[in-house]
Amino acid sequence: MESSFTQDELKIQIKRLNSKAGQLKMDLHDLTEGLPTDFENLIPLATETYSIYQQLSELKQQLKKLEL
């Protein structure tokens, strides 16, 4: 996911994804507390949460490279 974002653009993207990741983390927590109810939503929500955190990790690595 290499891109040509500036430092400021990366920081904005990271902030936006952090917010979304936090919400997904809370949704996942709420879902697991209610198990076995809605168990069929567990894998899709966990997959989406994983994807967001993976994107965050990549963006943070890009930002770190730019800050060197």
Instruction: Examine residue 46 and state whether it is found in any structural domain, yes or no.
Output: yes
pLDDT of res. 68: 85
pLDDT over 70 (residue 16)? yes
Instruction: Examine residue 19 and state whether it is found in any structural domain, yes or no.
Output: yes
pLDDT over 90 (residue 19)? yes
Range of the domain at 18: 14-67
pLDDT over 80 (residue 3)? no
**pTM of this structure:** 0.85
Please, which contacts does 43-51 make with residues 24 or more away whose CB atoms are closer than 8 Å?
48/24, 49/21, 49/24, 49/25
Q: Give the count of beta carbons closer than 10 Å to the beta carbon of residue 10.
A: 19
pLDDT over 70 (residue 40)? yes
Half-sphere exposure of residue 59: CA atoms within 13 angstroms, side-chain side: 20
Instruction: Examine residue 6 and state whether it is found in any structural domain, yes or no.
Output: no
Tell me what percent of the residues of the chain surpass a pLDDT of 70. 96
Instruction: Examine residue 3 and state whether it is found in any structural domain, yes or no.
Output: no
Q: What is the CATH number of the domain that holds 62?
A: 1.10.287.660
- The domain total for the chain is 1
Instruction: Examine residue 38 and state whether it is found in any structural domain, yes or no.
Output: yes
